[in-house]
Amino acid sequence: MDGDSVDKTAFTTPVGLYEFTVMPFGLTNAVATFQRFIESLFEDLLHDFVYVYVDDILVASETWEDHKAHVEEVFTSCTESGTPIEGQEMLFCSTKCSISRVLADVRGNKDRSSKVSPIRNYPEPRNLKELQRFLGLATYNRKFIASFAQIAAPLTRFQQYLMILTMRAASRKAFATIKEKICEEVTLRFPDFRAAESDEKRRFVIMTDASEDGLGGVLCQPR
């Protein structure tokens, strides 16, 4: 904790007030602060072979020799900054790993297959609360579903007008389609920033579309 911020973390106990000297994750800005710290730690390595999400650090290399050198650079950065790494939490020499409930492999990242069975057997919503719960689950997976807003429109209209849900034909179809799409194996490829800088044909393209049901955009990179 910054010295000027320690007194702002005070909390009461039966034996008096205590303050944090190390930032806990319960503070409002703790996650964002930690993310900025980790990104600054690997500033020169980010999007080259290092990818970070809060306390998850992914080192991705094309060859074994490159990988050994890249891992050594990461360890050096952590050592020089005094940032400890738990050895039992590490995974070496793997072609796939799980980060923030998403499976990442050599091709890209995809939704974890362990979620498929509960989604496939998810019951039809019987009221507004159950509908909102299902849409919350579906929204978490929307980046894997093309035209999600359009597909979910018959269901989201019930939320907008606070209507009691009656599963009509359009609603039933939307519900079934969303479950089917979530269960599909969809891969999102990692962006290649070096290729985007060096090859004009590989530069990023933003594709957008809009309708009465919603609007959306996709960041694409020609292969």
Tens digit of pLDDT at every position of the chain (223 positions): 888 889 988 999 999 999 999 888 888 888 898 899 889 989 888 888 898 888 888 898 888 999 999 999 999 999 998 888 877 778 888 888 777 667 777 666 665 555 667 788 888 888 888 888 898 888 888 888 888 888 888 888 766 655 544 557 788 889 999 998 888 877 777 788 888 888 999 999 999 988 887 788 888 998 8
Domains and CATH numbers, the chain: 6-109 (3.30.70.270), 113-183 (3.30.70), 191-220 (no CATH)
Q: Which 8-state DSSP code applies to residue 59?
A: E
Distance CA(18)–CA(21), nearest Å, equals 10
- Please report the pLDDT score of residue 75 as a whole number: 92
Residue carrying structure tokens 């933003």: 206
Give the model's pLDDT for residue 97. 79
Instruction: Specify whether the CB–CB gap between 41 and 78 falls below 8 A.
Output: yes
CB 106 within 8 A of CB 100: no
The residue ranges of DSSP E strands in 80-200, in sequence order, are 96-99, 102-105, 109-111, 187-188
Structure tokens at 100: 């923030």
Burial of 178 (0-12, 13-18, 19+ CB in 10 A): buried
Q: What local confidence, expressed as pLDDT, does residue 163 receive? A: 54
Specify the pLDDT at position 107. 67
- Cα–Cα distance, 130 to 136 (Å, whole number): 10
